Amino acid sequence: MKKAVAQLEQERDECQKAMECACCFQMPGSGSVALLPCGHIYCNREPCPSAHAAACPECRQAVAGRVVLFGALANVESALAGAAAGSGAR
């Protein structure tokens, strides 16, 4: 049982790392996430450089537009936070 919990915690941590904004390393929240045409995801918060980037900070592809994602990533963030609280981690 401990091995299964440890594996779940490791997978949760990997998911959190994958979801972090590559510019400011914060978790994106509801309505603040921009999907760039290249497919990379950033938080798009005002203090983050991604909010006004003309090129993707990750692949340098020109940003032709942004799509704001509502709810989906906030649900993931909420589930990850609940898993962390439930396991006693962090």
* pLDDT tens digits along 32-49: 767 778 888 888 888 888
Q: Which pLDDT score is estimated for 90?
A: 47
Spatial distance between the Cα atoms of 90 and 88, rounded to a whole number of angstroms: 7
- Domain range for 28 is 2-87
pLDDT on residue 4 = 78
Q: How many domains does the chain have?
A: 1
Read off the CATH number of the domain in which 36 is found: 3.30.40.10
Q: Is the pLDDT of residue 30 over 80?
A: no
Dist CA 33 CA 3 (whole Å):
34
- Structure tokens, 53: 């980037």
The predicted model scores a pTM of 0.58
